[in-house]
Chain A
Amino acid sequence: MPEHRIDLLARFPWLKEVLRSRAWQPAGALFTLACFVLAISAGLLGTPAGARNFGIIFVWIVWWALLIIGLVPLFGRLWCAICPIPAPGEWFQRRGIIRRSPGRLRGLGLRWPGRLRNIWLQNLGFLLVALFSAIILTRPAATGWVLMGLLLVGTLFGMAFGQRVFCRYVCPVGGFIGLYALLAPVELRVRDREVCRAHASKDCLTGTARSYGCPWLVYPGTLRRNAYCGLCAECLRACPQDNIALNLRPFGADLLVAGERRLDEAYKAFIMLGCALLYSAVLLGPWGWLKNLANMQSLAGWAGYAAGFLAVALVAIPGVFWLATGLARRISGAAAPMRRLFVDYAYGLVPLGLAGWIAFSLSFVLVNGSYALAVVSDPFGWGWDLLGTAHASWRPWLTGFIPALQVLLLLAGLAISITVTYRIACQEQGAAFTGRAWWGTLPIAGFMTGVTVLFLRLYLG
């Protein structure tokens, strides 16, 4: 096991018993499924006024806040374990919800094409949602249709391609959860790889009488990063050697796993950074003309806006980063080719990107969170008052603290990003050349500082 790990299952045996139980994951998924179906129903049948609709408030404010501020930074892909979207499909495959039913998984067992075994589709999906976000985030019907579409596709994929193919290769949310999960301070890993090598029957993949194999198409024996581990703990239930551990570990550890860095993930980092900046400008900024373009007031206007959006996220930001990488390469005298360095250094952007997303989300969650109080009593906007809070009025929370919080987050993200970049540079140079690695960090640090200043200009200036 790598250093700086605390084996939580060894420390807290009760935790192992809880996680090994088959009940917690389906219980979580049933709860989230109930909320999800309620959101779809409210979106399609409830009031078109977004501020009084469960679909809008509990998906884009409550769930999003929980996800980006809590679940992902602290627990990585834990959401994916209880996500409702693939759940009906998974239950169909497993012929059961809690139990381990005997025999093979049910389904067509179609093979997902090799060319799509990456997150490019997810990058595309996220960008599509981003381009239409002014519509989706504000019209309950749009949210309803999108969520229903995801549920249907997730279920059909479960029936056709099996396992969690949808989650790994298609889900637009999964793309960024996977990338930011690299930062999380918990992980499921094997304790000793030698044990796995010696163990012939790979139960963690094939399953046992009490468990299924890993549905994430991952072999726990060689798993080194959180990106594609959905924390469902099937491997924990399966392993007869008690070789699976839930570790507490330093923040950002997976960013330094050098051998698995890829261009599709690097681009996800650019897309997320770009979207955080663009959302902050379009949605939270004061420029009505920009919002009108995003709101599809005219198709031609929106097309121009979409082109600009994509240009920033896919060309401008990676382009400037490419230049910074070139400079870093020149200064540090790194031997690796440009493309390798470009991809590797991009992982340094991940902490800053998450900081930007949390800073952005804090702003609209604190300002609009009070809508949730009323909506919980009247989810459809039909004049109900289930809990007596239906007349709670809108009141922004803690707006005085938001700028300070945003500064704190962005600077923490900046410091961590620079540190990670330096460590990546050290990896490029080899441990003995930390001086050159330091110099090579400077242009990238400059890029990150520029991005931070842009955020600060939008939020505070």
Chain B
Amino acid sequence: MPRREVLAIVVAVLILFGVPGAALGYRLGWFAAPSALRTIDVVAASPENGGFQPDVLRVPAGQRVRLRFSVPDVTHDIAIGPGLGIDLGQVDAGQVKETEVTFARPGRYTLYCNTWCSPNHWRMRATIDAYDPAQPDELVSPSGPDPVVAALVEQGIDVDALHPAAAVPAEKPSASRSEALAQKIQLPAELEDAAWRRDHAPAQAHEALMARLPALDSQSAWDILAFLWLRDVPSTRLDQAAGQYAKACAACHGESGDGEGPGLDALRAQGLARHHDGSEASTALDDPHTLLGGTSALYYAKIRKGGMGTGMPDFGPILTEDETWALVDDLWTFQFEP
């Protein structure tokens, strides 16, 4: 047989069996170069398409680990929390993005998607258990119950329920309008106390203020409360929180807090977005009736717990406590003009 015939046959066999074989082998990891760095391949798909696969990752704490994400369907924003500051940004379908990360402390972390990607976007999470390499067999325990939430439950406050405000301001209270006034008059001591403010709703504070200073008109009182609620909140904190709001909350609550968004449409289509009594969930954060009757601690708890039967996700596994408080601070900017 002439040489070129042999060559042709070899090429044909290589093509017919070599190409698929090599591809399959790569897929099965035969060609993975051994490296000191542990690499974990994760598929990041919408929950309908399998979600994060695998959905539980065990990594040794204190060691550098490479996480490689491939996205098969639509754009996802891949992030790890709480408090790690790891956000790979938006990864489009068909792209592969990797990051090297060290989990300094053992514990349970959450791998999540930070951009609305499907009607079940809020289910798109995975657990990363960073175990102590010295004690690899010890179970990683999730963080304990949140003290603020526990305190509210102990006080008998229904975190899931709406706490509507009976009395609302005529127009949106403005902190700048009342700044001069607030410096001049003698405010009740408790209102000046941040901790008190945290545990009392603006509506309650308004009642207290009006009772102590009957000469004050209602709107000015609201303005003073706006000033107080937004005091001590640096603008950088608000900006950061606003960015987090845009990513985590806007899809359902609306960019402007108007309570309408594609996420909400999806939840409604699934029969969620309702309160226990069957009424439609009040999602408008710019509605004074909805927001002014609740305390900061209450909203903190709602954000961390989620649920309520409305389909609101629980952000406790994703956000640190401080990030959650910052979000609550940002929440008040829907009610109070800085």
Contacts and interface: CB of A to CB of B under 8 A. Distances in A.
**Direct contact between A and B judged by beta carbons closer than 8 A:** yes
Interface string B14-41: 0110011001101100000000000000
B20 A37 contact: yes
Contact of B5 (A48, A50, A97, A381): A97
Contacts of A42: 23
B72 A49 contact: yes
Contacts of B72: 47-49
A47 B19 contact: no
Contacts of A46: 23
A392 to B, nearest CB: 12
B68 interface: yes
- For chain B, which range describes its interface: under 10, 10 to 19, 20 to 34, or 35 or more residues? 20 to 34
A280 to B, nearest CB: 26
B24 A26 contact: no
A52 B72 CA distance: 10
B24 A49 contact: no
Contact of B94 (A26, A40, A47, A96): A47
B275 to A, nearest CB: 33
Contact of A45 (B15, B24, B94): B24
Interface in A379-394: 380-383
A45 B98 CA distance: 20
Contact of A98 (B5, B19, B93): B5
B171 interface: no
B109 to A, nearest CB: 23
Nearest to A39: B19
Contacts of B12: 30, 33, 88, 91, 97
B94 A37 contact: no
Contacts of A88: 12, 16
B24 A38 contact: no
A380 B26 CA distance: 11
B93 A23 contact: no
B9 interface: yes
A53 B4 contact: no
B95 interface: yes
A224 to B, nearest CB: 34
B2 interface: yes
B19 A37 contact: yes
Given A41-B23, A97-B5, A53 B94 contact: yes
Given A34-B19, A382-B70, A98 B96 contact: no
A34 B71 CA distance: 27
A380 B19 CA distance: 12
A49 B94 contact: yes
A104 interface: no
Contacts of A99: 1-2, 5
Interface string A62-98: 0000000000000000000000000010010000111
5 contacts: A38-B19, A47-B70, A49-B71, A96-B1, A96-B5
Ranked nearest first, the 7 interchain pairs of A and B with the lowest CB-CB distance are: A52-B94, A383-B96, A49-B94, A49-B93, A97-B8, A41-B23, A48-B72
Interface of A: 23, 26, 30, 33-34, 37-38, 40-42, 45-53, 88, 91, 96-99, 380-383
Given A52-B94, A98-B2, A381-B95, 14 more contacts: A30-B12, A37-B15, A37-B19, A41-B19, A41-B20, A41-B23, A49-B73, A50-B94, A88-B16, A380-B26, A381-B70, A383-B70, A383-B95, A383-B98
